[in-house]
Structure 1
Amino acid sequence: MREGIERASLWLAWLGRLIAGVALVAMLVVTIGDVATRYLHRLTEGAISVRVVGSVELVSYLMLFALLAAMAANVERSQVVVEAFTHALPDSLTSRLHGLYLLGFAVLGGVLCVGLLAAATSAAGHGEVTQDLRLPLSPIYAIAAVLSALLGLRSLLHALLGACWAQPSETADGD
């Protein structure tokens, strides 16, 4: 069972990294395109007036996707354990505490997912669009909801791994 959960978590982490990477590359392309066209406009003193319309809007939504996907992909490594509180605790107890903490992230991912799905439904019902590009907001909220669900699911998987199958303590000499 543990191996199945670990395998599912690794696959979901790969998916999150892929989505985050694509979003970051798209942000880079939009930003470089915007800067290049502005520079070209200035260099030609307005003779060439090509602009990337809605670049700020595109970058903001791509940043949302990149952050949610990256958080989901790296949830098990996202917390710094304060040694002042855990240095005297056995590794198995520290792992269980980390698992308990990740339950909070699972709840957070679930709450974000439900809220974003409600926003997507509302946006679809009212025909809401983005300010600059007039893109429908419903799919944007739906994608963010899926990424939030990914965060919640990976957090839950690692909470189960930490709480139920804590790693045994290692000896001081590494044996």
Structure 2
Amino acid sequence: MITAMIRRIAQVMEGASLILGAACLFYMVCVVGLNVLARIIFDATGTALNLMIPGAIEQVSYLLGVVALAGLTASLSRGMIAVDFLVTRLPSKGQALVARFWFLVLTALALVLCWLFYEDMLATYARGEESQDLRVPMFLIYGLFALQSLALVVVALREMLTSQGEHGEIS
């Protein structure tokens, strides 16, 4: 019953992470591409025409963290990639135990990340910190990181409970 509920929640979080990661990655590519073109125009006009996107580096750097966490969350559904000839030689129960152990470690790491990002969100909210160029409240950024870490916790927990030792590179 609990495993079924965790599976449903994890599936929703995986889908949301995939959509969020894809949207952020698309936005990052657009910002970088447009800034490269704007830089060419800027140089060609002798600095007379500046079409560069304000805070582009800041936008891309914060979104990179979201993309990394979202990508990790979305990629766990096919099992971890195991570059270990020893694990593949174990019987299927041994492979499942090893996989579940590593998902337990990943769950613990994701819990720590979630807690730390949550604490940073509270601290930056209390101090009223904003990003350098765009003046975006930092608690929003840390809150998004905390939510993505929470999604990683749920998906890793599901994999820890249900993994049969399958590997992403073999599937």
Task: Specify the TM-score bucket, using the shorter chain as the normaliser.
Answer: 0.7 to 0.9
Q: Distance in 2 between matches of 1:10 and 1:46?
A: 50
1:143 equivalent in structure 2: 144
What is the count of residue pairs matched by the alignment?
Answer: 164
1:23 is aligned to 24
Task: State how far apart, in whole Å, the 2-side matches of 1:9 and 1:38 are.
Answer: 42
Query: How far apart are 1:6 and its partner, in Å?
Result: 4.1
> In the alignment, what sits opposite 1:90?
91
Show the counterpart of 1:73: 74
Structure 1 residue 72, shift from structure 2 partner: 0.7
Shift of 1:134: 1.9
Q: Deviations over 1:117-170 (max 9, x none)?
A: 1101110111111122222101000000000011111000100002xxx48xxx
TM-score (norm 1): 0.85
Matches within 5 A, 1:124-163: 124-162=125-163
> How far off its partner does 1:106 sit?
0.8
Amino acid at match of 2:116: G
Flag structure 1 segments of 5+ consecutive residues without an equivalent. 168-175
CA distance in 2, matches of 1:64, 1:94: 31
Question: 1:42 is aligned with what amino acid?
Answer: D
> In the alignment, residue 37 of structure 1 is paired with which amino acid?
A
| Matches of 1:83 and 1:71, distance apart in 2 | 20
For 2:155 and 2:84, locate their aligned partners in 1 and report how far apart those are by CA, in whole Å: 25
Which position in structure 2 is the counterpart of 1:106?
A: 107
CA change 1:100–1:39 in 2 (3 A) is same
Partner of 2:60: 59
* Deviation, structure 1 residue 51: 2.2
Report percent identity of matched pairs.
Answer: 26
RMSD, aligned α-carbons: 1.9
The alpha-carbon distance between structure 1 residues 62 and 81, as it changes in their structure 2 partners (threshold 3 A), is: same
SS in 2 for 1:45: coil
Q: CA deviation at 1:18?
A: 0.5
Question: Would the alpha carbon gap of residues 75 and 45 (structure 1) be closer, same or farther in structure 2, given more than 3 Å must change?
Answer: same
TM-score normalised per structure 2: 0.86
User: Is the partner of 2:89 in helix, strand or coil?
Assistant: coil
1:9, distance to aligned residue in structure 2 (A): 3.1
SS in 2 for 1:148: helix
Q: Which has the larger radius of gyration?
A: 1
For 2:79 and 2:61, the matched residues in 1 are separated by 23
Q: Assess if the C-alpha contact under 8 Å between 2:87 and 2:98 holds in 1.
A: no
Identify the residue that residue 169 of structure 2 maps to in structure 1.
Answer: none
SS at match of 2:134: coil
- Residue 124 to residue 87, structure 1, CA distance change in 2 (3 Å): closer
Find the aligned partners of 1:42 and 1:83 in 2 and give their Cα distance: 50
